[in-house]
């Protein structure tokens, strides 16, 4: 099953290979006001992958993905970028979990972090450019 | 070559186009679609030489796009660029006639290794 180092490893690849942004280990602190991206896994394992990041970091991620200046980034591009990041995290985590399973389309919301959809399975606290982010895998209890 | 890039994420389409430039794979014409249904229409009407498609998309996903093309007798070459990396996904892609399945995230070198051979 998935553990914290698996999440850190996949996040390192995304941040290093796709975004070109620094990524460091940090306490698993959920940003107080954050943008949240979620994607569901259904099948051999049922649960949710969630990435929570501050608005400034979400803008940096979008600027990196679109290769544009921070000031040029639109709200739609932030949503697109966070959705794509959680999609990639989810797809790679799904490959480590019991299958076969399917991945949903990503959803992106903004606000205070909620309790999380299900039982927390693993969580990694990270920091990029001094901005906290948190990646969690929740398991949906069997009905 | 005319290359159709299919992904519901505009960011990802922009990364694919940028990676072509970074890998020195120049001289191609690009067309974009944001889901499988849009791609299907473009393939039927404009006949790209190569399709690079995501797997999970709204309206029509990538594997349904490929299977629909093959069922119509359309053999347009198609490779997947997707976050899906499970063995059963790759197996289904190749069995359905995909050229390759490249998992995101990827480096410029990996992209070049996987894609360059299909650009002739």
Contact A142, A134 (CB under 8 A): no
Given CB atoms, is A23 within the 8 Å cutoff of chain B? no
pTM of the model: 0.94
In order along its 120 residues, chain B shows pLDDT tens digits of 999 999 999 999 999 999 999 999 989 999 999 999 999 999 999 889 999 999 999 999 999 999 999 999 999 999 999 999 888 899 999 999 999 999 999 999 999 999 999 997
Q: What is the ipTM of this complex?
A: 0.91
- Is there a contact between B83 and A80 if contact means CB atoms under 8 Å apart? no
The pLDDT tens digits of the residues spanning B60-69 come to 999 999 999 9
**Helix-, strand-, coil-residue percentages of chain B, each rounded to 5:** 45, 20, 35
- Contact call for A66 and B14, based on CB within 8 A: yes
| Cross-chain CB nearest to A17 (options B8, B58, B106) | B106
Spell out the CATH class of B2-118: alpha beta
Q: For chain A, what percent of residues have pLDDT higher than 70?
A: 97
pLDDT tens string, chain A, 143 residues long: the values are 899 999 999 999 999 999 999 999 998 877 777 999 999 999 999 999 999 999 999 999 999 999 999 999 999 999 999 999 999 999 999 999 998 999 999 999 987 666 678 899 999 999 999 899 999 999 997 76
Domain map (residue ranges) of chain B = 2-118
Q: Tens of pLDDT along A92-113?
A: 999 999 989 999 999 999 876 6
Q: Do B11 and A80 touch (CB under 8 A)?
A: yes
Backbone angles phi, psi at B11, to 5 degrees: -60, -45
User: Using a CB-CB distance cutoff of 8 angstroms, which residues of chain A are in contact with residue B86?
Assistant: 94-95, 99-101
Residue B89 structure tokens: 């996904």
**CA neighbor of B100 nearest in space, from B108, B27, B25, B119:** B119
């Amino acid at each position: 099953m998935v553990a914290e180092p698996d999440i850190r490893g996949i996040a390192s690849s995304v941040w290093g290979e796709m975004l070109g942004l620094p990524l460091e280990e940090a306490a698993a602190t959920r940003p107080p006001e954050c943008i949240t991206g979620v994607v569901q896994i259904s099948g051999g394992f049922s649960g949710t992958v969630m990435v929570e990041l501050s608005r400034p970091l979400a803008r940096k991620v979008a600027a990196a993905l679109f290769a544009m200046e921070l000031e040029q980034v639109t709200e739609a591009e932030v949503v697109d970028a966070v959705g794509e990041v959680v999609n990639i995290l989810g797809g790679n985590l799904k490959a480590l979990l019991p299958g076969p399973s399917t991945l949903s389309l990503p959803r992106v919301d903004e606000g205070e972090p909620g309790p999380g959809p299900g039982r927390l399975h693993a969580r990694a606290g990270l920091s990029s450019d001094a901005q906290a982010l948190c990646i969690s895998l929740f398991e949906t209890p069997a009905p | 070559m005319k290359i159709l890039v299919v992904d519901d994420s505009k960011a990802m389409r922009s990364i694919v186009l940028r990676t072509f430039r970074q890998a020195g794979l120049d001289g191609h014409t690009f067309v974009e679609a944001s889901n499988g249904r849009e791609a299907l229409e473009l393939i039927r009407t404009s006949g790209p030489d190569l399709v690079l498609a995501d797997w999970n998309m709204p309206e029509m996903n990538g594997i349904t796009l490929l299977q629909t093309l093959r069922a119509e007798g359309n053999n347009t070459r198609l490779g997947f660029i997707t976050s899906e990396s499970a063995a059963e996904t790759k197996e289904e892609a190749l069995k359905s006639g995909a050229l390759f399945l490249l998992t995101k995230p990827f480096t410029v070198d990996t992209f070049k290794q996987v894609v360059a051979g299909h650009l002739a």
